[in-house]
Amino acid sequence: MVHLTDMLQVMRGSPAYDVVIIGSGAGGGTAAHVLTRQGVKVALIEAGPMLNPARDYKEHKTPADYPHRGAGDHAESYLGRKDFGFFGAPNGYWEMDDEPYTVAEGSEFRWFRSRIVGGRTNHYGRISLRFADYDFKPRAFDGLGFDWPITYDDVAPYYDKVEDFIGICGSREGLRTAPDGRFLPPPALRVHEHLVQKSCAQLKIPCIPSRMAILTKPLNGRPACHYCGECGRGCMTASNYSSSQVQIFPAMKTGRLTVIPNAMARELITGGDGTVKAVSYIDKTTRQEKQIRCRVVVVAASACESARLLLNSKAPGHANGLANSSGVVGRYLTDTVGYGLSGYIPALAGMPKHDTDGYAGGHVYVPWWQLDKKNKEFPRGYHIEVGGGYGMPMVGSFNSICRSHEGYGAGLKKAILDGYGCTVGFAGRGEMIPNEQSYCEIDPTVVDRWGIPVLRFHFQWSEYERKQVGHMHETFASIIEGMGGRVLGNRKPEDPGAAISTPGAIIHELGTVRMGSDTKTSALNQYSQAHDVKNLFVADAAPFVSNPDKNPTLTICALSWRTSDYIAEEMRKGNL
Amino acid sequence: MSDIQRRDILRSAAIATALGQLTPASAQHVHQQAGEAKQANAGRYQPKLFNEQDYKTVTRLADLIMPPEGAAPGGAAAGAPEFIDLLCSGADRLAQTWLGGLAWLNSASLKRYETSFLEARPEQQTALLDLIAYRKNETPELAPGIRFFDWARRMVVDAYFTSPAGVKAIGFQGNVGMQTFQVPVEAINYALERSPFQRKP
């Protein structure tokens, strides 16, 4: 019989770390940056490989640089991709053969995972919106959902620190729904964005420069954006924020950060006193089981992955998982409400061609504008993202015109040429209110390739979210028609709410290890420290109590910074 | 990879280097990749999946879907046949679609014109495509052809517009460095004049 200790390569001889961080995205990267700057010795484990931007980013490539034109060696673009696209920053997956998940009957959920140093921050949209004051106290505001144990004023100093460090461009507008930050100047607007802004003005809808984690001026040793328009592929010059390039690589240079790639966390190991003593993980390259000892652990594996790790960390005294005496771990899962509509804009037809790349994504956006309107059918707001311009022709770029025009030959070609750059798209991103039907739990029968029990998802949108989508449809159509355009697709759908995004598809899943002041209804305190386990912290979007109409990344960074300051201070005081 | 494409890559790398935004190491990497791609593409493409007849049929379809205009290449010269053969050789489901579709096209041509699609006269070829290029023509007989042509059209269009010839035809001018993002005033005025929002004089 093989003894357990022979199978385990416990790193007893290796240096113990002050802090072990699990996950290297926005939360883990910020924690690594803040802690190492304060002299803390940190190990960071990441379930994917090390990132090499020069090798891994396809920033300035074109489809013609590859015989498969970016469709993939196995025609993935045509047959359904499991990943984020050939040109996208690497190792983001909708489906992973070796790491499955299950979805309960009657539910739908898509779970995006990123497996590489930097995680999703290598590709994300860089949209960087502060939560508003009422976003932290939604129940006090309209009686629905739950309040955070902190206020905007608690987080504001950390928004300042994050913005000063990573660099956000935007403009000061003085809107309650879109609190101003410390902004670098915004870039010029594209032609269609001028039209959108004027159409919005007619409708009395604010349309303002986007707030993006993109440098329009050099900052902290990083050069300004060179406007190649492909931020989602990863930026070789680190002119946009990624935790890998902006936080982790510099932290490694301090000598206080050890990154352990290809390390999939299995379980948090607790001692007799109930605190975490070590992190157990499997080395994916050798399939060897390892443990790493620590004084403090920061779990930042992404909201659902962090919940999974806690739920899988079962031991006498915490049979329902670690930090879960409240039973809320995995509960109150939310995603952003998504809906999109495009329009054909005749004013753009025949316009002199020019380079519209800019930075990736709209240079303008619409923050929520109906906060004080009481007679809505839905309680919470959304923001609008704007797309358009002369994009790089890619595999699939002209699918919809092929579908609508049909035919072939010179007529089809002319339709494609004439329509190029004349479409403007609108994407709504709205707030979902947490509900009891949406959660993740451990599937009792399925494990992944590493032997780790997988998640099973349950998810339901409510009428609040579906009604919000109906409002999005009417608003987008009005903006399109106001600029002289024609809605592409059904102008008067019978049930616009039916076109709501698939749960998980917007990749803003959060709330699964929420913070709170009541230990019976929350897992973490206001510093994202577990009520039950004083040396366990969570630093991704799992601690979020609400999922406002603002993309979560900036708030993940701010809260992780706040948590990391607290950890460093508590270590100095000898409390950790 | 054509020389023109290679020059494009080198140019964009050179711009990024000049702006101080690419390290010498990554610039070198881009140059090396372009060189390797050029070597890999040396010589004429040898089909991996299609036999000679099928490959010629794909080539013909490519030029029917995206026709050459004067000296400007059509779908065939833009690389659609290589692209389609390569992808089919790496994906059984796609190979099935194309092999089945090409065989259907030949049998439909034989029934109508007593000759293969490739040997049929140009007006016979277009008469057959006119049937299968539109969903409204769907009958039990034509349905498989319509389904196949949907794939053929998509993939030829993709191959054409991602080729240097297609990029030139459509007028894409991006993927180059800019110090400050600028939008031509004449473009803004052009759109404003044609929009419900008149340009201020």
Judged by CB atoms closer than 8 Å, whether chains meet at B178 and A357 is answered as yes
CB-CB neighbours of A60 under 10 Å: 23
Q: Do A354 and B173 touch (CB under 8 A)?
A: yes
Both tokens assigned to B108: 């439909």
| B146 and chain A in contact, CB less than 8 A | no
A484 vs B8, B170, B195: nearest CB: B195
CA distance A168 to A180: 11
Q: Is the pLDDT of residue B56 over 50?
A: yes
Terminal-residue alpha carbon distance, chain B: 49
At residue A10 the predicted structure's pLDDT band, cuts being 50, 70 and 90, is low
- B134 — contact with chain A (CB < 8 Å)? yes
Residue A245, min C-alpha distance to chain B (Å): 14
Q: Is the pLDDT of residue A132 over 60?
A: yes
Size of interface A-B (CB pairs under 8 A): 228
Of the residues B158, B180, B182, B194, the best mutation for testing chain A's interface (the one with the most A CB atoms within 10 Å of its CB) is: B158
Confidence bin at B22 (pLDDT 50/70/90): very low
- Cβ contact A228–B174 (<8 Å): yes
Would the pLDDT of A484 be above 90? yes
Q: Which residues of A touch B183 (CB under 8 A)?
A: 188-191, 354, 356
CB A275 within 8 A of CB A20: no
Q: What pLDDT digit, counting tens, does each position of A353-386 carry?
A: 999 999 999 999 999 999 999 878 999 999 999 9
B86 CB within 8 Å of a chain A CB: yes
pLDDT at A16: 83
Written as six digits, the tokens of A104 are 């309960």
The rounded distance, in Å, linking the Cα atoms of A342 and A480 is 8
pLDDT computed for residue A9 by the predictor: 52
Structure tokens at B126: 């277009």
The answer to whether the CB atoms of B29 and A54 lie below 8 A apart is: yes
Average pLDDT over residues A462-483: 98
| Best residue in B3, B181, B198 for a mutation probing chain A (most A CBs within 10 Å) | B181
Whether residue A520 is predicted with pLDDT greater than 90 in this model: the reply is yes
C-alpha distances in Å from residue A426, one per residue of A170, A326, A342, A499, A501: 20, 41, 6, 14, 14
pLDDT confidence of residue A327? 98
The span from the CA of A402 to the CA of A528, in Å, is 51
Contact at CB, A393 and B170, closer than 8 angstroms: yes
User: Would you call B78 an interface residue with chain A, using a CB distance cutoff of 8 Å?
Assistant: no
Torsion sign across C-alpha atoms A404, A195, A389, A362: negative
B129 to chain A: which residues are within 8 Å by CB? 408
**Angle in degrees, CA B145, B148, B149, rounded to 5:** 85
For residues A467-483, give the mean pLDDT.
Answer: 98
Q: Are A529 and A17 in contact (CB under 8 A)?
A: no
Q: Which chain A residue has the Cα nearest residue B132?
A: A407
Percentage of chain B modeled with pLDDT above 90:
76
Residues whose CB falls within 8 Å of the CB of residue A183, separated by 6 or more in sequence, listed in order: A163, A168, A169, A170, A171, A172, A211
By Cβ distance, the residue of B29, B65, B181 closest to A409 is B65
Residue A20 forms beta bridges with which residues?
A43, A297
The one-letter amino acid code at B127 reads A
pLDDT at B1 over 70: no
Does the beta carbon of B123 lie under 8 angstroms from any beta carbon of chain A?
no
How far B3 CA lies from chain A's nearest CA (Å)? 11
Question: Contact at 8 Å (CB) between A317 and A272?
Answer: no
> How far is Cα A24 from Cα A116, in angstroms, rounded to an integer?
8
For residue B64, the chain A residue with the least C-alpha distance is A409
If residue A453 lies in a helix (H) or strand (E), which one and from where to where? Answer: strand A453-458
The confidence score (pLDDT) of residue A375 equals 77
Of B26, B67, B149, the CB nearest to A410: B67
Residues A406, A408, A414, A419, CA torsion sign = positive
Alpha carbon A197 to its chain's center? 27
Q: Which of A66, A395, A408 sits opposite B153 (nearest CB)?
A: A408
Contact: A70, B162; criterion CB under 8 Å = yes
For residue B117, the number of C-alpha atoms closer than 13 Å in the C-beta half-sphere is: 24
Chain B positions in Cβ-Cβ contact with residue A53 (cut-off 8 Å): 26
Query: Are B164 and A64 in contact (CB < 8 Å)?
Result: yes
Task: Write out chain A residues lying below 8 Å of B66, CB-based.
Answer: 409, 412-413
The answer to whether residue B125 neighbours chain A at the CB level (below 8 Å) is no
Q: B187 at the A interface (CB within 8 A)?
A: yes
H or E element: which one contains A44?
Answer: strand A42-45
Arithmetic mean of pLDDT, A453-468: 98
In the three-class reduction of DSSP (H, G, I as helix; E, B as strand; rest coil), residue A437 is classed as coil
Which residues of chain B neighbour A396 with C-beta distances below 8 Å?
158
Q: How far is B110 from chain A (nearest CA, A)?
A: 22
Tell whether the model's pLDDT for residue A454 goes beyond 80.
Answer: yes
pLDDT band, residue A15 (cuts 50/70/90): low
| pTM of the shown model | 0.93
**pLDDT number for residue B6:** 43
Residue in chain A closest to B9 (alpha carbons) equals A61
* Alpha-carbon A443 to chain mean position: 24
Whole-angstrom Cα Rg for chain B? 22
Query: Would the pLDDT of B14 be above 80?
Result: no
The pLDDT confidence band at residue A249, using thresholds 50, 70 and 90, is very high
Closest CA to B9 of B171, B157, B167: B167
Put simply, the answer to whether A223 touches B91 (Cβ < 8 Å) is: no
CA end-to-end span of chain A, whole Å?
A: 39
Compute the mean pLDDT over every residue in chain A, rounded to the nearest whole number. Answer: 96
Does the beta carbon of B23 lie under 8 angstroms from any beta carbon of chain A? yes
pLDDT, tens digit, for every residue of A42-53? 999 999 999 999
The tens digit of pLDDT for each residue in B172-199 reads 999 998 999 999 999 999 999 999 998 6
